[in-house]
Structure formats: structure tokens, C-alpha cells
Amino acid sequence: MTAPGETPEFATAAFEIGWRGRKIEAEAAIPTGTVRPRVLLPLVQQLATAIVGLAEAAVRDRGKEVTCRAGCGACCRQLVPVTATEAHHLRDLIDAMPEPRRSVVRERFAAGREHLDEAGFTDAVRGAADAPNRLALGRAYFLLGIACPFLEDESCSIHPDRPLACREYLVTSPAENCRASSDEGIRKVLLPARPMPAFASLDGPTPAGGVRWVALLLAPEWADANPEPPANEPGIDLFARFMASLTRDHSAPPDGPA
């Protein structure tokens, strides 16, 4: 770990992701000292944007277009999974907001949690990462109509910091179809790779051996109850593990019903 006052050392990691005749070539400066996974989050967010760009280009090649737009917040009522690292990041993002915005956002989280409690879904949502019926749970959550606490005028108010899962969710079907309680008529965009589960792998598996994640609505309280682990792995090793996981089969289903 870099001592106070020292300049951290970095290594340059070069990588390439190719898909359907296009490719991403990039270099990134990765710290060689021991760090937390959060240090890599900005890089992973940028990589997610580039991967989505590949997917959007492939959609255009087929004469289609992504229909997701600012002002269409239907998907912002889904059971959104965030990695443990992202949960800490979002909690700190809220804490750093100026007043009165900070209090407004916290009140939205509290109201959403109260709605969840009244519906008797809180425990189920807490254990959603290991739930055998995640699809049914996600549909039931959507029917509750709980808007993301960051949603304002049907648009994301933290768009540059939005979760990886939100970045990965794109459709080519009419935007209004996403408001239905059924998946019928929703056509998701195929991604060449999914950064969210790959990044989640850096936080370790769930008790059942699955991908560890937290529901966005419960992320701040989860982060308060679960302190961020100390830095214990060189950044370059973390990045190598992330890339190894990313290049395994984490792709979304084909461009068909979600």
C-alpha cells in the first residue's frame, strides 16, 4: 500500500475487445500497490460505455436502433442490482450531495424502503442475489412501482455515476413496452460482454456461490451495515481478474424477449 505522501506507482495495461468486425483497443494506468476494487470503478464504467458502443453499432448494422432515451424512466422501477463496491460508492455519493438535495434523496430511499416493508418484500429483496426465483421476484418488485430514488423527471439524476447494470440495459423495442408488467414485446440488446457481473466477482461470491450484488434501493443501508473491506490486492492483479471474468460468458441473451 502506498504510504501517505508517496506517489503511487502504476503499470500500463493494454487490452482489446473485438466483436462482430469491430474492436476496442485501449490502455489504462493501473496502480501496482494494494487497493480496493473501488479504485477500478471509473475505468470499468468507461469500459462499459465502450462495450455498449459496440453493441449499439451492431444494432445499427441490422437497421435497428436503441430506443432508450432520457425521459423514459420505465426501467428505473426495476429491481436494479449493484455490486457491493458500487453500493459503497453510491452511499458516499449521497453523503457528498449538498443540502437540501442530500435530504431529498435520502427521503426517497426511506419512502421506497417503507413501501417495500409494507409489501412484505424486504427480506426477499435482501436475499435476491441467491434467490432461486429471481425473475419472479423481479417482476413482483416491478409491480410495486417503486421509482429509483435518483430518478427525476423520468431521467437519471446521477447519469455519470449510474450503476453498471443500468448501463448494460438497452432495448430496441418501443419504449412504452417497458412499462408493461410482462416481458412480452421487450427486445434486449445483446452485449459482447457484461462488466457488472465481472466487476462483482472482485467482491467475492455469495454464500451460495453466485454473483454478489445488492438491490439499489437497499444499497445505502447495506453499505452502512457492511464496511468496505481494506485494500488487500495489487491493482494490476484486480484488473487481471476483472478482465478474465469479463471475457468469460457473461453476455446477455440474444436480442429477443428479456
Separation of alpha carbons 246 and 241, rounded Å: 9
Bridge partners of residue 14, in order along the sequence? 27
Residues sharing a CB contact under 8 Å with residue 8, sequence separation 6 or more, in sequence order: 2, 31, 32, 33
User: Does the structure show a pLDDT above 60 at 153?
Assistant: yes
Is residue 43 included in any domain, yes or no?
yes
The predicted structure's pLDDT at residue 249 = 55
The beta strand positions in the chain, using DSSP E, are 10-19, 22-31, 34-35, 81-82, 151-152, 155-156, 214-215, 233-234
How many residues are listed for the chain in this entry?
A: 258
Average pLDDT across the chain, whole number: 88
Is residue 228 included in any domain, yes or no?
yes
Band of pLDDT at residue 8, cut at 50, 70 and 90: low
Is residue 121 included in any domain, yes or no?
yes
The predicted structure's pLDDT at residue 181 = 67
Termini Cα distance of the chain: 43
Is residue 252 included in any domain, yes or no?
no
Number of domains in the chain: 1
User: Does the structure show a pLDDT above 50 at 254?
Assistant: no
What would the pLDDT profile of 88-97 be if each residue is shown by its tens digit? 999 999 999 9
Is residue 254 included in any domain, yes or no?
no
Separation of alpha carbons 49 and 57, rounded Å: 12
Is residue 25 included in any domain, yes or no?
yes
75-94 mean pLDDT: 96
Is the torsion defined by CA of 106, 42, 38, 22 positive or negative? positive
Is residue 191 included in any domain, yes or no?
yes
Is residue 168 included in any domain, yes or no?
yes
Cβ atoms within 10 A of the Cβ of 227, count?
Answer: 8
SS3 annotation, 130-162? HCCCHHHHHHHHHHHCCCCCCEECCEECCHHHC
Is 0.85 surpassed by the pTM of this model? yes
Domain that includes residue 41, residue range: 10-246
129-146 mean pLDDT: 92
Separation of alpha carbons 71 and 63, rounded Å: 24
Residue 86: exposed, middle, or buried by beta-carbon count in 10 A (0-12, 13-18, 19+)? Answer: buried
